[in-house]
Amino acid sequence: MAMSRNTIALEQIAVQGDLLDRLHANAARLADTLYSPEEVFKPSSYDWPGDNEGRTLLAQILTARATGKDALHLDAILAKLPLHMNVLGYFGNILPEGITDEQQLSGNSWFLRALCELYAWRQSPAVLDQIGRIVKNLLLPAHSHFAHYPTDPSERAEGGEASGTLADKTVRDWYLSTDIGCAFIMLDGATHAYELLKWPELKATIEEMISRFLEIDLSGINAQTHATLSALRGILRYYGMSGNKSLLHAAESIYSLYLSEGKTENYANRNWFNRPWWTEPCAVVDSFVAAIELWRYTDQPRYLETAHLIYYNAISHGQRENGGFGCDCCTREEEPSLYALENVYEAYWCCTMRGGEGLSRAAEYSYWLRDDEVTVPFYHANLVELLFAEGPVAMKLETRYPYEGQAALTVVSSPGAIEKTIKLFVPQYAVPGSVALLLNGEAMDKIIPNNGFIEITAALTTGTKLELSFGIALQQIPASSSKPSEGQAPFMLRHGSLLLHGPLGVEGLSIQAHTTLAPKGNAVYRDERHERDFSPIYRPIREASKQDALAKKPILFR
């Protein structure tokens, strides 16, 4: 069994500030009639059975828990589920024996995950029975098919739209999708179900799926990055249960491939390997979760810093002013500006729902516990109740992060002098020598970050206050997508975790070596000589607008 720190229940955290605004905006969007029982259920002929229903339920369950407010349509949808599933308890047609539809597996994986989250929340035995029916009647019969899942590019359809399409004929007993590899999205649902069921036959199926997935040349087959990352989530979850180190090494290798060949310069995704056509917040959310899980199991701070970059520059940029999520261009050397794509401005059929999970996970990841150790890897303003053997401790976190390296943690109530170790995140970009920690106003000596954190053991009595500060300087970051060419390679500007953009609509922007960029506050820098500002692509959602999202924001400079 892999030993690691764990998160706390969403009900114990009350986030505030921009993250709460984003959760409320997404929950309000999910209250639209698009996500009502009258419209959420798709006909049996729909190419992605269970997908719309599963994603919608998953988002409504998690945002309800993260905000503490009931999701408008949730219980009405749950009440109508039996009317829309087939007699075997899952979505879509019952195929002839020996035939598997990878889009059906993928869509029902989201339904399976929604039910797992529902059971974790409400503990209904009927929900657990439903999880078992899907596993028994849809997933286990596909066990033997994964060994011959088609991975030869010549057997796969070319192209694909923002919503994948299904081939009209089988290849070795598989109906295949243009979302290449989407069958392995089911690894996420299957491992989530295994956490609850612990069935040996499900374990065998999961191991067969993982074995086949790890044989695939993901780049060579132009695998969909969303499918890749969802499968990776499943592998990491299974590693957490099995402790098989080879799975962790494989997961790190897959994520490394994604970072080098599958992400954009603002830490969103290319929809397929080798096809930088558009980003997809569904995959961005999975990349965020995978980064956190890799940090959880390896303690490597680079994964945590990657998660910060994803949250502030990809997840947040992909959320629209109406609370939904949509697709952006794939920034790279050939496309130096970032902007939303007007034809998929909001992918209301998939990304809006997946964004709900991303934001809910961001809230959940605020605190991690391991024995008497409390780890704080993110700085979202919040109120939290931590449950210890000695009794509950309530704390309040106030912060000016990500604009400034500052956070204060105050004990609001405590049953007594409970001694705990607090670990506070300090990114590698912190200005050397600038890290400072105050305990009840008194400076702590020898505060040296270790593995991305500083730590202090203190008695958490009511009124105890920890204040962290560190300097943030402007950084020039080489573009990861640049190719060997004549002249200087393009670069980006970052203020801590915040990627900066130049004046809107200016292509091919150059910054002279002697140019001075003076800080104006809130991570904005001014080039006085040319009278231009460089500002974060991250904006609080209260400042979001469609005009700003569609505007070309140069982020690669020379």
Q: How confident is the model at residue 356 (pLDDT cuts 50, 70, 90)?
A: very high
| pLDDT digits 0-9 by tens, 204-261 | 999 999 999 999 999 998 889 999 999 999 999 999 999 999 999 999 999 999 999 9
| pLDDT digits 0-9 by tens, 409-468 | 999 999 999 999 999 999 999 999 999 999 999 999 878 899 999 999 999 999 999 999
Asked whether the predicted pLDDT for residue 2 surpasses 50, the reply is no
| CB-based contacts of 513, cutoff 8 Å, min separation 6 | none
Q: How many CB atoms lie within 10 A of CB 364?
A: 22
pLDDT more than 70, % of the chain:
96
CA angle 283, 181, 242 (to 5 degrees): 80
Inter-residue contact 337 to 331 (CB < 8 Å): yes
The pTM (predicted TM-score) of the whole model is: 0.96
Q: Is 424 helix (H, G, I), strand (E, B) or coil?
A: strand
pLDDT of 169:
73
Q: Is 41 helix (H, G, I), strand (E, B) or coil?
A: coil
Inter-residue contact 241 to 195 (CB < 8 Å): yes
Domain ranges of the chain: 31-216, 370-399+405-470, 474-554
Asked whether the predicted pLDDT for residue 159 surpasses 90, the reply is no
Inter-residue contact 497 to 486 (CB < 8 Å): no
Question: Lowest mean pLDDT: which of 171-185, 358-372, 396-410, 417-431?
Answer: 171-185
Q: Enumerate the H helices of 95-224 as residue ranges.
A: 102-122, 125-134, 186-197, 200-213
Higher pLDDT, 325 or 171: 325
Asked whether the predicted pLDDT for residue 101 surpasses 70, the reply is yes
Mean pLDDT, rounded, of the chain: 94
Helix axes 225-242, 186-197, angle to 10 degrees: 20
Asked whether the predicted pLDDT for residue 155 surpasses 80, the reply is no
pLDDT of 185:
95
Q: If you compute the radius of gyration of the chain from its CA atoms, what whole number of angstroms results? A: 23
CA angle 337, 340, 346 (to 5 degrees): 165
pLDDT more than 90, % of the chain:
85
pLDDT of 1:
41
Give the β-pairing of 453-459 and 465-470. unpaired
Asked whether the predicted pLDDT for residue 115 surpasses 80, the reply is yes
Token pair for 105:
């597996």
Higher pLDDT, 487 or 307: 307
Asked whether the predicted pLDDT for residue 485 surpasses 60, the reply is no
User: Which fold does the domain 370-399+405-470 belong to in CATH?
Assistant: Immunoglobulin-like (2.60.40)
Q: How many CB atoms lie within 10 A of CB 205?
A: 23
Token pair for 362:
């961001």
* Section 66-82 average pLDDT: 97
| CB-based contacts of 504, cutoff 8 Å, min separation 6 | 551, 552, 553
Length of the chain measured in residues? 558
* Section 56-71 average pLDDT: 98
Name which of 205, 103, 177, 149 is nearest 95 in CA terms. Answer: 103
| pLDDT digits 0-9 by tens, 487-527 | 578 999 999 999 999 999 887 788 877 789 999 999 999 99
